[in-house]
Structure formats: C-alpha cells, structure tokens
Amino acid sequence: MADLEAKGLKNIRERLLVSDRCHIITDCHIQVDGLEEQELGGNSIGTTKRGIGPTYSTMAARNGITISEMFDEEVFARKLRQLAQGFKKRFGDLLVYDVEDEITRFKQYREDLRTFVVDAVPIIADAQKNGNKILVEGAQAVMLDLNFGTYPY
C-alpha cells in the first residue's frame, strides 16, 4: 500500500477491494513456476516466474488456497502444507521451501489485508445496477483462457 501511495494514488486504502475468492500465490508457487520452466528446457513457455501458472493449476485442481481461507489459520496451514507436500513429491530436493516460515509470514499478511477482502459479487452487482464504472484486472484477458486463448501457449 505504501508503494501505491508513494506513486500518488490517493485514498487507496478506502478504494481497493480484494475478492474473497481470489487465489493466493505463495512462495511455493513461485519456486514451482521456475522448476516447471526448467523441466521444459528449450521448450519453455517463457513465464514471468511469479507463480501465476502454478496458482492457476492448483485453482483448477481444487487444491489452491483462496484469500478467504487465509483468515482461518488452521485451514490455511493445512492446505499450504498439503500443497507443499505434493510439490515436494514431484520436485524432491530441487524444491527448497520452508512451509512453516511461510505460514508464519502469512500471519502478518492476514492482518494487513483483512480490511480489503470482501464478497465482491454483491458489490459489483450494485455498482453495475447503479451505472458505476468497474475496473477489473485481467492480465492478457481471454488469451490465457484454456478454451478461447492461445492454449497450449
């Protein structure tokens, strides 16, 4: 938030909302992104290595972690440990990741983000009904869609 405010965005803390359905990118996802690119060798797809692909994969596999689950410490810790364990089985010692460190770090994130997380569905529906402008993020939009995009990339 401080970075956004320093760049001149006014009242960002009052205007920014995050959907409770949003999936979390963990350090584990980021490392896996790099390892998956290495697996592909010369056929790599050129990801940003920021964990977006692995997060999308865990979302589709229904074992990802939503931001709303982050607020339940037990659920978050259990799901993150399971996620890390699955990736560890796949990548072995190549995955250097401390799940307990990340669980601890997320305690602060939980407090920092609490006021921004909302059920966005009724908020967007009300804004649309009232004719308000709505800004949504969609990096590369439809081009990353599995059915209508450039799949298999």
Q: What is the DSSP string of 91-153?
A: HGGG----HHHHHHHHHHHHHHHGGGEE-HHHHHHHHHHTT-------TTGGGG-TTTSSTT-
- The whole-number average pLDDT for the span 129-134 is 94
Q: If you average pLDDT over every residue of the chain, what do you get?
A: 89
Q: Kindly report the pTM of this predicted structure.
A: 0.82
The pLDDT of residue 152 is 63
- The whole-number average pLDDT for the span 95-124 is 94
- The whole-number average pLDDT for the span 64-78 is 97
Q: Is the pLDDT confidence value at 108 over 60?
A: yes
Both tokens of 36, joined, read: 């998956």
Q: Is the pLDDT confidence value at 96 over 90?
A: yes
Cβ pair 65, 80 in contact under 8 A: yes
Q: In the chain, what are the domains?
A: 20-119 (1.10.300.10)
**20: buried, middle or exposed (CB in 10 Å: 19+, 13-18, 0-12)?**
middle
- The whole-number average pLDDT for the span 103-113 is 94
The pLDDT of residue 135 is 78
pLDDT, tens digit, 9 for 90 and up, residues 7-47: 998 888 888 889 999 999 999 999 999 999 888 887 777 77
Q: Is the pLDDT confidence value at 138 over 80?
A: no
The pLDDT of residue 75 is 98
Amino acid, res. 96 = V
The confidence band for 105, taking pLDDT boundaries of 50, 70 and 90, is very high
Cα(76)–Cα(113) distance, integer angstroms: 15
